Chains A and B, each alone.
Chain A
Amino acid sequence: MKSPYQNTHQLFASDEYKNTLKEQILKNFFHNPIKHMYLYVDAWFNFAFGTKNNPLYHLGSLAFFLLWIVLVSGLYVFVVFDTSITGAFQSVEAMTEQWYLAGIMRSLHRYASDAVIAVVLLHIIREFSLDRYRGFRWFSWFTGTPNLWLMILLGISGYWLVWDQLAQYVAIGSSQLLDALPIFSGAMSRNFLSGNLSDRFFTLMAFVHLLGLPVMLVFGLWIHVKRLTKVEVIVPRGLAIGSFLALLILSLIKPAVSHEQADLSIVPSVLNLDWFYLNVYPLLDYFTPGETLILAVAISSLLMIMPWLPTKRTPPAVVVDLNHCNGCSQCFEDCPFDAISMQARTDGARWDMEPIVDPALCAACGICVGSCPYSNPSRRSETRLATGIDLPDQPIHQIRTATKTVLTELSSSKVKIVIFGCNHGIDLTEINAPDIATITLPCTGMLPPAFIDYTLRHGADSVLISGCRSQDCYYRFGNHWLEKRIKGERTPILNKRVNREHFEFVGYAEIDKIQLLKNIETIRQRILNEGQS
């Protein structure tokens, strides 16, 4: 469609455009309100913490960090804990009395455990809001849920060990739930009637809490991140310091305390429940243990099968073309989803290695296409630009053709700006102005840096690359790798001779369209000024 405006400036300044923009923003908002609300919160955190330390970008590793605090404080607490039914309560009370050391350790142990659940809930909300749970990501989502369960069981068994009235409530509720399982069939609960309880149970519980569940959790988490590469296991330092200090201050202001000592001849009436962990027990006052179990299983099953409600199709996986591969293994280095591995060369070529792709793991993000040294649009030999690894649905040749086409279209324009965007940041099809041309890739990580050079040399005044928000690539590392390639820190690097003034790499989410328009306008002004001088 031909725009009635001469240039971007006229277009953006027109009332008509402003109204359409408002409409678009509203429409997009209501199209996916959860995602949009999330993105506003995300922007606020970016403002407060900076993109590097935005906790929302590090929820997984923040959970790991909190688990480390839980572990270290737990070891301390264990040393001073008395693992017997008669001594447990007193030993925990003694910790709280020593407020400056054992008390702090106990509080850190409790609050860090609570914070893990809070952080994991945010982690779930984030992956869901940003639609990062379906398609090729089903595995991470599916294997995440059992870890939540293990965490909750870990918390429950921990509360049990204090042997106060809350522990008693938890113990009786748990045994009622266990009795509802056909394997126990009703004998469990009688253990918790006065006079029936032995130390044996308590030792079992301590074993479960100290060894059984933690080992299972470590294994579960290993599985959870198995399909990801370069998993961030260490949280950025700023966040580590901040969250540790916050926990420490909370522990000093509001130390963790117990209820009264357990007494099996009474029933605890008012309980200060830890809702992060003990939320299932009140259900027992409204439903039978069997119904409660069914409800809990139903909710977690529903959570687990979310990736298929409905599922999301992943485009066909990348395909290797050994005729254009020198086995440099950069694609293997860059793949965020562990879909590429290297093996000994099979085609008799003089190189040692070749990549192979596991289609089941491939996200079709194209990041490997961007890392292949053969994806250079200036290679002349072929009529068709062939590369070592390519996306069947949107091959690199097609992107070169699109670039050529838009450059021809812009040739008569006074200002020529080419924008490369991605499928997950701002929708560039909504940006329709006469002196701008847009090309959308699955991910900006797919853009070989040589394309910047190519586009500028073939007539563009400026190239703008608009990816996801910095640190928040939909495909984990796309914008990060491209930035490094541009800076010359990762191959294939951008030719040093390319004038850095003539292109810009920005990161925006769907809701940041106005900022992008401002960017475009600044670039336009700069080009016009340069033209005049």
Chain B
Amino acid sequence: MPNSPSARRDGAMAAEQSGTTTMTSAIQPYLDSFHDLIPGLPGAGLGWLDRLRHDGLARFAATGFPSQRVEAWKYTSLRALERSVFAPAGHATPPAIDRLPTVAPDPRTAHRLVLVDGRFRPDLSSVPASVAGIASAGLADLLAGSPGDVPTTLAERHLGSVATLETGLTAVNTAFVSDGLVIHVAAGVAVAQPIEVVFIATGGAAASPTLHHPRLLLVAEPDSQVTLVEHHVGLGDGPYATNTVVEIVVGDRAVVNHTKIQREGQGAIHIATTAARIGSEGRYDHFGLTLGAALSRNDIVPILGAGASCRLAGAYLLRGRQHADTTTAIEHSAPRATSRQVYKGVIDDTAHGVFQGRILVRPGAQKTDAYQINRALLLSAGAEIDSKPELEIHADDVKCSHGATAGELDDDQLFYLRARGIDRDDARRLLIGAFVGEAIDEISDATVAAAVRALADAWLTTPAAGSQKGMGS
């Protein structure tokens, strides 16, 4: 299996063209609805917000949804999103509170903030009384002027400051930004208990497919420490789409541990941009577990300050005809920053995994240390992986390496296990579990790691209905 560490120095690649699309027809309904919707959106009339929304719309009008002619979207087509018009999500009836999904060992003491179809639901959320120094508010409430404990100017200061309008997806999310969640961690506060944000999509049941654009903003002030679990769950397997934008501000010397679990319904399109700005000596760790959705795309875009560190890891477990794209773009913008990426894919049936990992080292970002590995396990002849590393290095004193492997389960290992009495299916599960485990080991919070491991094990033992081996072939 090829594993080729290499580094390019001063070999700046041509800046990626952000393609202009001719698919105006696909985006026209969204553009048309904008002027009707805008006055009714929370915070309408606030100068900064009106400007932000209009900039978002203008950018979206110019770019549309990304097309496959754009290099960064070469392996993933959004035609499914363009083909039908998605309506904004309505008000759905949520499930009973004791049945809400959670990774917390004890839901009664969980710090859990719940959104249903992109709308924050304080009635379903629970914040332990003992939590001090953390404030959260629904974005709509904050924009409408009831910020609760959250500093009033937080949204104005940070919304749109981390996630730029570069892609049409962030742009359209920004144009229609209406609800979501804002979390503020005060300077010097360290919270051990994870904050879990549960995004429930009731989608699939409604007459016409829905599209929502939830927004999550986390601001961790200097010297603070927080663990965030972003948990997306779909209740139905019909078509719906979500276009999430997560903005994370990691203050100087702050530590943010972020785990994202994606368990959308089988008919879902899940698109997400996670942008993080990491202050000097700050740390941002991100783990992504991709299990659900017919089509998913994760853009993870951290910018590292001086001496900052960033660890991106993830596991994508795919079967049936799922398509999952993880695209990272780490920007080393200052000296002495460290980044590490460890991704593992397990791909069965005719599923398709994509990993694109871009590392950009800006001029002056000396002593950069960047590592990246993507390994895929292909469980059937029809399974596919596209892996594309991209290094763009404009400093001369850096250490960058990357590698990608794709292969099948090892026959010798399988035989060894079977020769000890372990049947073929168990032996395969043990080996796949071990393979995925190497990525899960990157999660520093033990409770979160255990929850992720349990979900991965569940995936291994119970194939989703209708997507058993061989279905797609």
> Real complex partners, A and B?
no
Which B residues form the contact surface with A (CB < 8 A)? Answer: none
